[in-house]
Chain A
Amino acid sequence: MVEEEKNLRVVRCGGSELNFRRAVFSADSKYIFCVSGDFIKVYSTATEECVHILQGHRHLVTGIQLNPNNHLQLYSCSFDGTIKLWDYIDGILIKTFIVGHKLHALFSLACAEDSVFVIINKEKPDIFQLVSVKLPRSSSQEIEAKELSIVLDYINQSPKCIAFGNEGQYVAAVRDFYLSVYFFKKKTTSRFTLSSSRNKKHAKNNFTCVACHPKEDCIATGHKDGKIRLWRNFDDEKKYTYTCLHWHHDLVMDLAFSVTGSSLLSGGRESVLVEWREATEKNKEFLPRLGATIVHISVSPAGDLFCTSHSDNKIIIIHRNLEASAVIQGLVKDSNIFTGLMIDPRTKALVLNGKPGHLQFYSLQSDKQLYNLDIIQQEYINDYGLIQIELTKAAFGCYGNWLATVEQRQEKETELELQMKLWMYNKKTQGFVLNTKINMPHEDHITDLCFCNAEKSENPTLVTASRDGHFKVWILTDDSDIYRKAVGWTCDFVGSYHKYQATNCCFSEDGSLLAVSFEEIVTIWDSETWELKCTFCQRAGKIRHLCFGRLTCSKYLLGATENGILCCWNLLSCALEWSAKLSVGVMEPDPNSENIAVVSQSPVGSDLFVFKPSEPRPLYIQKNISREEVQWGVFVPRDVPESFTSEAYQWLNRSQFYFLTKSQSLLTFSTTSPEEKLTPTSKQLLAEESLPTTPFYFILGKHRQQQQDEKLNKALENELEQLPLTENIPAISELLHTPAHVLPSASFLCSMFVNSLLLSTETKSAEEVPDDADMEEEKESDDSDEENNFTEEVQDTNTTDLGEDIIHQLSKSEEKELRKLRKVDYSWIAAL
Chain B
Amino acid sequence: MGEFKVHRVRFFNYVPSGIRCVAYNDQSNRLAVSRTDGTVEIYNLSANYFQEKFFPGHESRATEALCWAKGQRLFSAGLNGEIIEYDLQALNIKYAMDAFGGPIWSMAASPSGSQLLVGCEDGSVKLFQVTPEKIQFERNFDRQKSRILSLSWHPSGTHVAAGSIDYISVFDVKSGSAIHKMLVDRQYMGVSKRKCIIWGVAFLSDGTVISVDSAGKVQFWDSATGTLVKNHLIANADVQSIAVSDQEDSFVVGTAEGTVFHFQLVSVTSNSSEKQWVRTKPFQHHTHDVRAVAHSPTALISGGTDTHLVIRPLMEKVEVKNYDAALRKITFPHRRLVSCAKKRQLLLFQFAHHLELWRLGSTVATGKNGDTLPLSKDADHLLHLKAKGPENIICSCISPCGSWIAYSTTSRFFLYRLNHEHDNISLQRVSKMPAFLRSALQILFSEDSTKLFVASNQGSLHVIRLLEGSFKHLHTFQPQSGTVESMCLLAVSPDGNWLAASGTSAGVHVYSVKHLKLHCTVPAYNFPVTALAIAPNTNNLVIAHSDQQVFEYSIPDKQYTEWSRTIQKQGFHHLWLQRDTPITHISFHPKRPMHILLHDAYMFCIIDKSLPLPNDKTLLYNPLPPTNESDVIRRRTAHAFKISKIYKPLLFMELLDERTLVAVERPLDDIIAQLPPPIKKKKFGT
> Which A residues fall within an 8 A CB radius of B?
166, 169, 215-217, 230, 232-233, 235, 238-244, 249, 280-283
Contact = CB atoms under 8 A, between A and B. Distances in A.
Given A232-B278, A249-B685, A241 B233 contact: no
B233 A232 contact: no
A543 B360 CA distance: 85
Most chain A beta-carbon contacts within 10 A, residue among B233, B234, B278, B282: B278
B280 A242 contact: yes
Nearest to A183: B270
Given A166-B269, A241-B278, A244-B282, 12 more contacts: A169-B270, A216-B268, A217-B267, A232-B264, A238-B316, A241-B264, A241-B316, A242-B280, A243-B279, A249-B684, A282-B216, A283-B233
Contacts of A215: 268-269
A242 B270 contact: no
Contacts of B270: 166, 169, 217, 235
16 contacts: A166-B269, A169-B270, A216-B269, A232-B280, A233-B264, A240-B316, A241-B316, A243-B280, A244-B282, A249-B685, A280-B232, A280-B234, A280-B279, A281-B234, A282-B216, A282-B234
Nearest to B230: A278
Nearest to B249: A239
Most chain A beta-carbon contacts within 10 A, residue among B267, B269, B684: B269
Contacts of B232: 280
Contacts of A230: 278
A239 B262 CA distance: 14
B247 to A, nearest CB: 12
A618 B196 CA distance: 87
Given A232-B280, A282-B233, A241 B685 contact: no
A230 B278 CA distance: 10
A77 to B, nearest CB: 30
Contacts, number: 50
B640 interface: no
A239 B316 contact: yes
B185 to A, nearest CB: 14
Interface residues of B, number: 19
Contacts of B264: 232-233, 241
B134 interface: no
Contacts of A280: 232-234, 279
A232 B282 contact: no
Contacts of A244: 281-282
A230 B281 CA distance: 10
Contacts of A166: 269-270
B567 interface: no
Contacts of B266: 217, 232-233, 241
Nearest to A234: B270
B307 to A, nearest CB: 24
Contacts of B282: 244
B233 A217 contact: no
Interface string B255-284: 000000000101111100000101111100
A341 B685 CA distance: 40
A241 B684 contact: no
A459 to B, nearest CB: 56
A240 B216 CA distance: 26
B268 A217 contact: yes
Contact of B281 (A239, A242, A282): A242
Contacts of A169: 270
Contacts of A216: 268-269, 276
B316 A243 contact: no
A216 B277 CA distance: 13
A217 B269 contact: yes
Q: By DSSP majority rule, is chain A's interface helix, strand, loop, or mixed?
A: loop
Nearest to B235: A282
Interface of B: 216, 232-234, 264, 266-270, 276, 278-282, 316, 684-685
A238 B325 CA distance: 14
B249 to A, nearest CB: 10
A249 B683 CA distance: 12
Most chain A beta-carbon contacts within 10 A, residue among B233, B270, B276: B270
Nearest to A235: B270
B278 A243 contact: yes
A194 B662 CA distance: 44
A249 to B, nearest CB: 6
Contacts of B279: 243, 280
Contacts of A249: 684-685
A243 B233 contact: no
Contacts of B276: 216
B267 to A, nearest CB: 7
Most chain B beta-carbon contacts within 10 A, residue among A169, A216, A283: A216
Nearest to A236: B316
A240 B316 CA distance: 8
A217 B280 CA distance: 14
Q: Which 4 A-B pairs have the closest CB atoms?
A: A282-B233, A241-B280, A235-B270, A232-B266
A243 B232 CA distance: 13
A238 B276 CA distance: 19
Nearest to B269: A217
Nearest to B318: A238
A281 B281 CA distance: 12
B12 to A, nearest CB: 32
A280 B278 CA distance: 9
A409 B438 CA distance: 85
A386 B387 CA distance: 64
Nearest to B250: A241
A789 to B, nearest CB: 47
A38 B224 CA distance: 62
Contacts of B234: 280-282
A800 B250 CA distance: 73
A155 to B, nearest CB: 22
A11 B684 CA distance: 48
A216 B267 CA distance: 8
Contacts of A241: 264, 266, 278, 280-281, 316
B316 to A, nearest CB: 5
A163 to B, nearest CB: 15
A259 B346 CA distance: 74
Contacts of B316: 238-241
Most chain B beta-carbon contacts within 10 A, residue among A169, A235, A281: A281
Nearest to A169: B270
A495 B216 CA distance: 73
A281 B278 CA distance: 12
Contacts of B269: 166, 215-217
Most chain A beta-carbon contacts within 10 A, residue among B216, B276, B279: B279
A802 B17 CA distance: 88
A393 to B, nearest CB: 37
Contacts of A282: 216, 233-234
A244 B278 CA distance: 12
A191 B661 CA distance: 53
B523 to A, nearest CB: 40
B463 to A, nearest CB: 56
A238 B280 CA distance: 15
Contacts of A240: 316
B187 to A, nearest CB: 13
A280 to B, nearest CB: 6
B619 to A, nearest CB: 22
Nearest to A216: B268
B297 to A, nearest CB: 14
A249 B278 CA distance: 24
A238 B320 CA distance: 12
A282 B267 CA distance: 23
A281 B216 CA distance: 13
A238 B316 CA distance: 5
Contacts of B684: 249
Nearest to A231: B280
Nearest to B262: A241
B295 to A, nearest CB: 15
B281 A243 contact: yes
Nearest to B261: A243
B220 to A, nearest CB: 13
